[in-house]
Amino acid sequence: MVSSKVLWKLVAGLIGLQLLLTVLVIHRESLTFDEDDHMYAGYMMWHAHDYGLNPEHPPLVKLLAALPVLGRDLWTPPLHNRDFKQEAYLNGRDWLARNDGDRNQMVFQMRLAAGLLAIALSLVVFAMTRELFGDWAALAALTLLALDPNVLAHSALVTTDIGVSLFFLASVWCFYRYVRQPGLPRLVVAGVVAGLLLATKHSGVLLAPMLLLLIGYEVLTAARGTRRATALRLASAFSAIVVVGVLVLWAFYGFRYATRPAGVAMSTTLAEYVAPLGPGTARIINWVGRWHLLPESYLIGLVDVKRMALFYPTFLLGHNYSHGVWWYFPSVLLIKSTLGLLALTAVAGYALARRRLRWSREVVYLVLPGLFYLLVAILSNMNIGARHLLPMYVFLFVLAGGAAATMAQAGRRWMVALLVLMVLHVTSSLAVFPNFMAYANEAWGGPANVHNLLSDANVDWAQQLYQVKAWQDQHPGEACWFAYFATPEILPETYGIHCKHLPTADTSWLGGADNIDPIVEGTVFLSAGDLSGCEWPAASLNPYDAFRSRQPDAMIDYGVMVYRGRFDLHQAAALARAQNAVRADDPATGLALAQEAAALDPASITAQQTLGNLLARAGRTQEARAAWQSALTGARQLDPSAQTIFVPDLEARLKQ
């Protein structure tokens, strides 16, 4: 046991260090990919009671983050009746650029507000571990969490990952406390916390099967004559938690079903949005909506999660896939976890196998939810990053802390070995400061190599614009071209960076690429996400794939690669023209751009498909068929899974 005074000084010191590191990191980071969307949506929820901007995520984190900017006289962009995702991303970008610019004062304040959830998570991990395994275990678990690189990378970003991790763990802990000592107050608290989970992220619905698994465990381990009563009691408790949780969820939507306030139309109806998921899913979602069992915005978000998973490319270990792969998250665990944490996980497995750590209720309430969440992640098709595993990590931190404290009692050698593993975890994490986002452990080459293995928020979530600006200031007068992972959701010009915009997967639906020359000379900046082509279903579609075999001249925060010299960018030049052809002001200009694109890169599926579409609109059917056929020939050379994105549409057009 540790004296109470010493214990709380250690807790305060660890959380204080976590807070200091977090503040230092977010102060130097530009906006990450989704933050302007979340911040603007949260402000508009308070300002106009509008839940139609960013319905992809429930309100809690957005409402919390927007609190510091309420009551200010802020410019609000007019609504343009665009697709709801375009509206939120582009209006959010303009809202922050106009009101905050490159100062990031509003951004910093909103991040600090969201960061309160990280502090709450640390306190819950400590308190839960202390109740389950004791003081030393609690200190170990808190150390693992507070100084974990993946936690530090996301602790104060205005996103949902830390919040959902907090409320998953807190929900299971509250249910555990109710099971140990049933009573109405504990049941109500469990329901309220479950509601906070639902109001944080749509994956919170996974709490229901987690609790059912735990109820099954309780029934199976109950005395034979009490199993029926146990099942009835816990089934009633589960029902009460669902009811209270849903009521809390409704409260975050102001107990209003409609997504948007009166007089403001949503860009799509719920029925239209769910239709691509098939008649079975559509029937269920529409029935729930018809009876107003859940808010409309929440239902649209659930549908969006499923729709996004249908066609989400993956980059893993240097390969591009057009879909999710089951080994993605196991690989992420091995790459993005510290070697110390991996070793402590092995120690926990050893302790359980040798029964040094007893398979008690306390252990089951950590292992079952954690493994269930990992299994769902493995089976999902949204292979984005380690941040999606944070809810599993928090259960692991508690378990590893408990196992470490237990094994430390086995002798001095165990105690020394475990202390070494804890130090290894901390030092490996701190060694990558302040670039926690790009962490990879030493066995995989560290952060300098992670962009060759993973992508997206594992490396580069578009947070390096201040550092790119500093590099440009040190090399004045150089012509430059920039493929930035978050353009045009975030414009480098806002931070004083002036380069030609290279096309990316995102400029295809939001615009923003420049019609560049096919041969350029100067500096080319490529963010890691665009270098890997993580948003393209095949490497051959990535216009920057050739750069992957070239050593960059410099690397900015492990996430932006700098290349200097003379470069052949004909694929990028063709892609930019094809994208801009679609949104040209007049048909003649659009057709001319599409023809230029096809001439620059005849093998480009996108260029030929776009040219065919615009020729058909101009009534030039035979020429359109020739372009479509060229695109189809190229599409059939892709992997079978990638072909499905292009081939059916092209075949249908050729049959018309």
Q: What's the pLDDT at 1?
A: 63
What is d(CA 575, CA 513) in angstroms, rounded to the nearest whole number?
9
Each residue's pLDDT tens digit, 560-589: 999 999 999 999 999 999 999 999 889 999
Mean pLDDT over each residue of the chain, to the nearest integer: 95
Q: Which two tokens stand for residue 141?
A: 């678990």
Cα dist from 417 to 136, 351, 421, whole Å: 15, 14, 6
Report whether 390 contacts 125 (CB < 8 A): no
Each residue's pLDDT tens digit, 416-433: 999 999 999 999 999 999
Residue 5 CB burial class (10 angstroms; 0-12, 13-18, ≥19): exposed
Cα dist from 311 to 40, 54, 61, 101, 642, whole Å: 27, 19, 27, 34, 9
Report domain extents, the chain. 270-311, 478-568, 575-655
pLDDT above 90 coverage of the chain, percent? 90
Strand 314-316 to 319-321 pairing:
antiparallel
**Residue 512 reports pLDDT greater than 90:** no
Q: How confident is the model at residue 207 (pLDDT cuts 50, 70, 90)?
A: very high
Considering only CA atoms, which of 436, 491, 448, 486 is closest in space to residue 469?
A: 491
Q: Which two tokens stand for residue 241?
A: 């938690």
Each residue's pLDDT tens digit, 276-309: 999 999 999 999 999 999 999 999 999 999 998 8
Q: Which helix (H) or strand (E) holds 564?
A: strand 560-568
Which long-range contacts link 370-379 to residues 24+ away (Cβ below 8 Å)?
Answer: 370/395, 370/396, 370/399, 372/206, 372/209, 372/210, 372/213, 373/168, 373/206, 373/210, 374/329, 376/206, 377/329, 378/326, 378/328, 378/329, 378/330, 379/326
Q: What's the pLDDT at 384?
A: 85
Report whether 270 contacts 300 (CB < 8 A): yes
**Residue 325 reports pLDDT greater than 80:** yes
Q: How confident is the model at residue 509 (pLDDT cuts 50, 70, 90)?
A: confident
Each residue's pLDDT tens digit, 341-387: 999 999 999 999 999 999 999 999 999 999 999 999 999 888 888 99
The arithmetic mean of pLDDT across residues 523-534, rounded, is 95
The arithmetic mean of pLDDT across residues 627-632, rounded, is 96
Report whether 542 contacts 320 (CB < 8 A): yes
- pTM here is 0.96
**Residue 218 reports pLDDT greater than 70:** yes
Q: What's the pLDDT at 33?
A: 87
Each residue's pLDDT tens digit, 51-103: 999 999 999 999 999 999 999 999 999 998 889 999 999 999 999 999 999 88
pLDDT above 70 coverage of the chain, percent? 100
Q: To which residue do tokens 């408790």 refer?
A: 237
Each residue's pLDDT tens digit, 582-607: 998 899 999 999 999 999 999 999 99
Each residue's pLDDT tens digit, 226-276: 999 999 999 999 999 999 999 999 999 999 999 999 989 899 999 999 999
Residue 359 CB burial class (10 angstroms; 0-12, 13-18, ≥19): exposed
Q: Which two tokens stand for residue 440?
A: 């990879």
Lowest mean pLDDT among 11-20, 26-35, 386-395, 413-422: 26-35
- Domain 575-655: give its CATH code: 1.25.40.10
Q: How many CB atoms lie within 10 A of CB 415?
A: 14
* CA 67 remoteness from chain centre: 22
Q: How confident is the model at residue 3 (pLDDT cuts 50, 70, 90)?
A: confident
